[in-house]
Amino acid sequence: MSAEDLENYETDMELALYREYRDVVGLFSYVVETERRFYLANQVDLQVRSAAGEVYFELTLADAWVWDVYRSARFVKSVRVVTFKDVNVEELAKAELDLGGGPGFPR
């Protein structure tokens, strides 16, 4: 396998992962970023802890999807992350269900 073949393979894998993300993002309530991973989750518990003068974060996710191109099973029941680095948690905006305007659905 040449270097170009390997690069094309990795590009294809990343594109497939992006497409999967696009397809599943609507199933989740939160986006979570850590220094190592990107997650989608429906439940997030973030606790700030300290030990020996150091502050760290303990993050527990339930019903999650992991952005990782090398992972074969990206849907996971629960995830626990302990990190000294920043953690970003954002709630996703849900599109409102609009049944009005179509036949049989007067406004």
For residue 100, being part of any structural domain is answered with: no
Is the C-alpha dihedral spanning 21, 38, 15, 5 positive or negative?
negative
For residue 17, being part of any structural domain is answered with: yes
Phi, then psi, of 50 in degrees rounded to 5:
-145, 145
For residue 99, being part of any structural domain is answered with: no
Q: Fill in the DSSP letter of residue 57.
A: E
Domain that holds residue 13: 3-91
Write the pLDDT tens digit of every residue in 53-75.
999 999 999 999 999 988 888 99
For residue 98, being part of any structural domain is answered with: no
Beta-strand relationship, 30-33 and 54-67: unpaired
Strands (E), 52-107: 54-67, 75-83, 88-91
Query: Can you give the pLDDT at residue 94?
Result: 77
For residue 97, being part of any structural domain is answered with: no
For residue 106, being part of any structural domain is answered with: no
In the chain, the percentage of residues whose pLDDT exceeds 90 is 66
Q: What is the CA radius of gyration of the chain?
A: 19
Report the amino acid identity of residue 42. N
Question: Which pair of structure tokens corresponds to residue 104?
Answer: 């049989």
For residue 45, being part of any structural domain is answered with: yes
pLDDT in tens, the chain (107 residues): 788 878 888 888 899 899 999 999 999 999 999 999 999 999 999 999 999 999 999 999 999 999 998 888 899 999 999 999 999 999 998 764 344 555 554 54
Structural domain count, the chain: 1
For residue 11, being part of any structural domain is answered with: yes
